[in-house]
Amino acid sequence: MPRLLQSLKFQIVLAIMVMTALFATATLYSMHVIDQQHSDDVLVGLSGRLMFNQQHLTVQAMRYHENAPRDYSSYSRDLKLYFEDLKKTRTELTRLIGAFEENRFDAELTGETMAMQPRLAPRSHAVAVELAEAWRSILVRIDERIGPDPGEPRLEWAAEMIAESNAVLQDITARLSDTLQAEAKQRAQRANLLSRVLLGIALIVSLSTAIWFYRRVLGPLSVAVNGFKQVANGDFEYRVKVVHNNEIGWLAESFNHLSDRLQALRKLLTGLEQGVDLDATLRTLSTTLPSLIPVDWIGVLVFNVDGQVHLEKAYSDGKPDPIGNLTFNPDKTLLEECIRNREPLHIPDVKGMAVLSESYVFLSHLADFGRRDAIFLPIGNGKVQGVAVFGSRYPNNFRTEHLALLRNLGVLLGVSLGRTIQLTESSRLASIGQFASGIVHEIRNPLATISLAMEHLKSLDVLPDSTRKRVDLADTEVVRLERLLEDILLYAKPLSLRRTPLDLCALISDIVTAEARVDPRIAFQSSACPPVPVDEDRMRQVLLNLLLNAQQASPEGSPIGVSCSAADDNRVEVEIRNAGEPIHPNVLDRIFEPFVTTKNHGTGLGLSIVNRIVEAHGGEITVHSDALSGTRVVMRLPLKPVGFDRQPQAPVADSG
């Protein structure tokens, strides 16, 4: 109830109601005054008729008394004139005096239908009763003077008696008229005074309402408008002073809350822009996001190339959460659903949801961390995918507006976290590349010494067979290690091309023919292709690498198809097909990233080098894999050189 009384809506409605009531009261009172004035005018008019008839009765009586008839003919004439006039005037006076005595004035008497029936005040009515009593007394004496014979009334005696009674009747009639006029004047004065009072009250209320409206509505509203202008101009730290506890005050509080959220968003955007690694980005989120969303735990899950998901890093209450290494399978989990739909996923009851399926491993861990409400937000792109998790200790803590805000921030957070993960991964790879370049040179010298020692041991004839087998095995491992070092060095150093127009179909045919002597499963189909400007050695390396991968991935006895043809967009298309197990989608998305491999002894550099060489030629390479058609690698090279001196930014190697 107090909040209702403080509400501007209630106060404005109340002010309008008061002013409306005053206006209605003044209007109704004015109508009442008009009706009362009309009623008073009617009463004064009736009193005038009464006085006129009384005077007419007296004047006629006095004239008749002074000029009384002296013969029968004159008497007969007066009988027809004066006596009839006497009876008519007597009847009219009786009717008027009776109406005043009974205080009832009907339309027949007044001659009109009135909104307010005339009513005598007690004082006037007392005079009217006195007049009625006097009139009845006069009527009795008039009847006595006229006599019992209506055919021969004694008009002279009656006229004499009427003249004698004139003073009493005239006095009472005059007093009645004076009383009515005095009361009408008094009511008019009272109505005039009350109208002035109502007008004064209306003016005071209107002026007070205007002052109140300016101080409580227009003034604070102009301050709020100025605040909105300040924020619109970029001053997110501007705050509006909350003066009144009403809608304007609540608007100011909401405005200040909006400014706080905008300031928090600005800090969040600045922090995300300045974040150089995942740790800095999560620290920014954990310190600024709680002012927007009631979150107290933030973690980032990253999909590995092997299809597993691991918890990269987490923050709890603004501090790093030492949760250890968590890795699990995302199949048939809500994480997989979140990545697939690319939409935020709300888990209002983490603990209750975790027990619904054994595959909900992360939810179980999240419940063990003491979190009861969570939102999954997909992050990253095709190469780096993950899920940002925002948790709360309290179940059903995230409301609809929090989800809406997070959905609006989803793209920003997803891109920022994905970029941070990518930068972290790129930094890690760059560090590995620098380390690899240095370590290759350090390893090559002792490896050359070991190779010479193996050659010396192999040349000895006195070695036992078991020892010779070990020496041969060691020599093979030395060769493999040298090849690995060469691949690492190839990936780490810049790539240069020596392009010449080349019949790509002929090159593929030579490679396939040579490989078919070892593996007869390879079959080559080609059509006439125009020359392609490529580096022959590099392109041979690409084709050998792709064929080797196809051979290793194909089951024994299954065919391997190779084709080369001219495409419609001035490109030459090379396709290598093999059967076997399809590549997992999570691996397929990152197949060309360095150190990504599904082989137990692979380096993960082969396809990265292949992709780098193809891109350096201005071409593109794609991999398609499913259980129905197997795996297809499609390489498309332009017929016109894109740039002979093009230098790719990332390093290249052999099969991974």
Classify the C-alpha dihedral 637-641-642-647 as positive or negative: positive
Q: Which two tokens stand for residue 297?
A: 């735990």
pLDDT in tens, 250-290: 777 777 777 776 677 777 767 666 666 777 777 888 888 88
By mean pLDDT, which of 19-33, 125-139, 184-198, 629-643 is the weakest?
629-643
Q: Per-residue confidence at 206, pLDDT binned at 50, 70, 90?
A: confident
412 confidence band (pLDDT: 50, 70, 90): low
Query: For the chain, how many residues are written?
Result: 656
- Name the residue with higher pLDDT: 448 or 365: 365
Give me 549's structure tokens: 């991968």
Distance CA 73, CA 84 (A): 16
Residue 356 Cα distances to 132, 352, 359, 369, 371, angstroms? 104, 7, 9, 18, 17
- The answer on pLDDT for 520 being more than 70 is yes
CA 291 to chain centre: 18
Q: Are strands 373-380 and 345-347 parallel, antiparallel or unpaired?
A: antiparallel
pLDDT at 654: 38
Q: pLDDT at residue 648 above 50?
A: no
Q: Considering only CA atoms, which of 389, 642, 645 is closest in space to residue 532?
A: 642
Helices (H) and strands (E) in the chain, counts: 18, 14
Compute and round to an integer the Cα radius of gyration of the chain.
58
CB 441 within 8 A of CB 493: no
Considering 206-220, 344-358, 474-488, the range whose residues carry the highest mean pLDDT is 344-358
Question: How would residue 499 be classed by pLDDT, with cut points 50, 70 and 90?
Answer: confident
User: With left for phi above 0 and alpha for psi between -120 and 50, is residue 307 left, alpha or beta?
Assistant: left
How many CA atoms lie within 13 Å of 368's alpha carbon, on the beta-carbon side? 8
Question: What pLDDT score was predicted for residue 126?
Answer: 93
Q: Mind listing the pLDDT tens digit for each residue in 90-116?
A: 899 999 999 999 998 888 888 888 888
Choice among 51-65, 333-347, 374-388 with the minimum mean pLDDT: 374-388
Average pLDDT over residues 316-335: 80
Dihedral sign, Cα of residue 298, residue 304, residue 306, residue 311: negative
What pLDDT, on the 0 to 100 scale, is given for residue 411?
Answer: 66
In the predicted model, is pLDDT for residue 621 greater than 90? yes
The contacts of residue 419 (CB under 8 Å, 6+ apart) are none
Residues 325 and 600: their CA atoms lie apart, in Å, by: 22
So what's the pLDDT on residue 415?
65
Position 236 scores a pLDDT of 65
Instruction: Find the range with the poorest average confidence among 207-216, 261-270, 295-304, 536-545.
Output: 261-270
The mean pLDDT of 573-599, rounded to a whole number, is 80
Please state the φ and ψ torsions of residue 617, each to the nearest 5 degrees: -85, 0
Nearest by Cα to 396 from 376, 371, 413, 377: 371
Inform me whether the pLDDT recorded for 506 exceeds 90: no
Structural domains in the chain, CATH included, are 2-210 (1.20.1330), 273-415 (3.30.450.40), 500-638 (3.30.565.10)
**DSSP structure class, residue 290:** G
Q: What is the pLDDT of residue 652?
A: 39
Q: In the prediction, which pLDDT does 408 show? A: 73
Residues forming beta bridges with residue 565, ordered by sequence position = 573
Return the SS3 of 510.
Answer: helix
DSSP state of 289: G
Determine how many CB atoms are found less than 10 A away from the CB of residue 100. Answer: 25
pTM: 0.46
Cα(640)–Cα(532) distance, integer angstroms: 7
Q: Which residues of 123-133 are buried (b: 16+ CB within 10 A; e: fewer)?
A: ebbebbbebbe
In whole angstroms, what is the distance from residue 163 CA to residue 177 CA?
21
Most confident of 378-382, 470-474, 543-547: 543-547
Nearest to 376 by CA among 345, 411, 354, 418: 345
CA-nearest of 397, 364, 368 to 296 is: 397
Query: Per-residue pLDDT tens for 74-87?
Result: 667 666 777 788 88
Give the per-residue pLDDT at 649.
38
**Distance, CA of 652 to CA of 634 (rounded, Å):** 19
Indicate the average pLDDT of the chain.
79
Q: Is the pLDDT of residue 421 over 70?
A: no
Mean pLDDT value across residues 581-604? 73
The confidence score (pLDDT) of residue 145 equals 84
Considering only 232-241, 417-426, 612-621, which range has the smallest mean pLDDT? 417-426
Which whole number is the average pLDDT over 48-71? 81
The CB-side HSE value for 113 (13 A sphere, CA atoms) comes to 0
Assigned token pair, 143: 């009847």
Average pLDDT over residues 363-386: 81
Are the C-beta atoms of 388 and 370 separated by less than 8 Å?
no
Helix or strand (DSSP H, E) at 545: helix 536-553
Q: Which residues pair with 313 in a beta bridge?
A: 300
Q: How far apart are the first and last CA of the chain?
A: 76
The arithmetic mean of pLDDT across residues 613-621, rounded, is: 88
pLDDT band at residue 403 under the 50/70/90 scheme: confident
Residue 593 pLDDT > 60: yes
How many angstroms separate the CA atoms of 339 and 120, rounded?
Answer: 94
Q: Mean pLDDT lowest for which of 217-231, 278-292, 474-488?
A: 474-488
* Confidence at residue 123, expressed as pLDDT on a 0 to 100 scale: 92
User: For residue 138, is pLDDT > 50?
Assistant: yes
Q: Are 300 and 379 in contact (CB under 8 A)?
A: yes
Split at pLDDT 50, 70, 90, the class of 340 is confident
Tokens 């740790």 label which residue? 279
Q: 3-state SS of 325-394?
A: CCEECCCCCHHHHHHHHCCCEEECCHHHHHCCCCCCHHHHHHHHCCCCEEEEEEEECCCCEEEEEEEECC
Residue 426 has pLDDT above 60, yes or no: no
Query: Is residue 494 pLDDT above 70, yes or no?
Result: no
